[in-house]
């Protein structure tokens, strides 16, 4: 129950915040966008937070049993995913209530969710490894994630920021943030009923595959040491 209420309250807080700060009346459109973005972001953040703690938390298991260590962060992601899926139902209730069209474009959300899963698995594996070497990683992770949230197209829409960046020829700056393209596409598909541009797809796929491969490889290159570092 709290899995649904929690992000919903959070969305309400941000909605009021942005509504007051921007000083203009924001509609149901914006709320739908905010909800979609926040839910997806908290799925990624949840995967990273629990994934980062998975290896150190599973210390005894790691020291006693031989098994593919990558299963630890990946199973953390699985848990996060099961928590995320019910929030999608909430989103769709808002989606319909706010009069967003339900078209085939929505199906594109599935591959985008796949990219998000791939991306956060890689980042979770990276932080899980880091946590073994620096146990205080967990203490600055929340701040890092909070800043990441503000830099990602969750509170603002990807259209707002792309336009502004493009005016100065700085669109590449946005692409530096992996979640710019991933969450941008997510929101475009879900709330704007828009097929994301080819460059968005390219950057999103690139980031996800790179994060997954590099994060997992970094993890595997270090996993032998886990048994003696824990």
Q: Which residues bind another protein (CB under 8 A)?
A: 60-66, 133-137, 140, 224-225, 227-229
Of 129 and 181, which has the nearer Cβ to another protein? 129
For the bound state, the minimum distance from the C-beta of residue 139 to another protein, rounded and expressed in Å, comes to 9
- Of 112, 83, 96, which Cα lies nearest the Cα of 187? 112
Closer to another protein by CB, 137 or 192: give it.
137
Between 94 and 130, CB nearer to another protein: 130
CB of 59 to another protein, least distance (A): 8
Nearest to 95 by CA among 196, 195, 191: 191
The residue among 66 and 198 lying less far from another protein, judged by its C-beta, is 66
Least distance to another protein, CB of residue 140, Å:
8
CB-based burial label for 53 (10 Å; 0-12, 13-18, 19+) = buried
Angle at 110 between CA 142 and CA 73, to 5 degrees: 40
Which of 59, 206 has the CB closer to another protein? 59
Q: Residue 206 CB, nearest distance to another protein (Å)?
A: 29
Instruction: Name the minimum Å distance from CB 65 to another protein.
Output: 6
Residues whose CB falls within 8 Å of the CB of residue 46, separated by 6 or more in sequence, listed in order: 80, 83, 84
End-to-end CA distance of the chain: 35
Residues 43, 81: contact at Cβ < 8 Å?
yes
Between helices 178-190 and 28-57, what is the axis angle to 10°?
A: 130
Measured CA to CA, the distance from residue 117 to residue 159 in angstroms comes to 24
CB of 104 to another protein, least distance (A): 40
Nearer to another protein, 143 or 172 (CB): 143
Q: Which of 59, 221, 218, 229 is nearest to 125 (CA)?
A: 218
């Amino acid at each position: 129950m709290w899995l649904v209420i929690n992000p919903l309250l959070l969305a309400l807080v941000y909605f009021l915040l942005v509504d007051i700060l921007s000083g203009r009346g924001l509609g149901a459109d914006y709320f739908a966008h905010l909800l979609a973005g926040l839910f997806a972001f908290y799925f990624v953040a949840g995967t990273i937070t629990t994934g980062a703690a998975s290896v150190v938390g599973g210390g005894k298991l790691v020291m006693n049993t031989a098994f593919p260590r990558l299963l630890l962060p990946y199973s953390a992601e699985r848990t996060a995913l099961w928590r995320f899926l019910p929030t999608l139902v909430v989103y769709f209730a808002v989606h319909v209530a706010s009069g967003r069209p339900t078209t085939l474009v929505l199906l594109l959300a599935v591959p985008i969710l796949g990219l998000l899963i791939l991306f956060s698995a890689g980042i979770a594996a990276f932080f899980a490894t880091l946590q073994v070497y620096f146990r205080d990683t967990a203490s600055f992770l929340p701040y890092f994630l909070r800043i990441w949230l503000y830099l990602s197209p969750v509170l603002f829409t990807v259209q707002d920021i792309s336009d502004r960046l493009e005016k100065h020829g700085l669109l590449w700056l946005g692409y530096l943030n992996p979640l710019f393209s991933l969450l941008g596409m997510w929101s475009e598909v879900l709330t704007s009923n828009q097929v994301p541009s080819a460059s968005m797809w390219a950057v999103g796929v690139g980031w996800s595959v790179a994060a997954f491969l590099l994060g997992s490889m970094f993890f595997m290159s270090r996993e032998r040491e886990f048994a003696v570092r824990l």
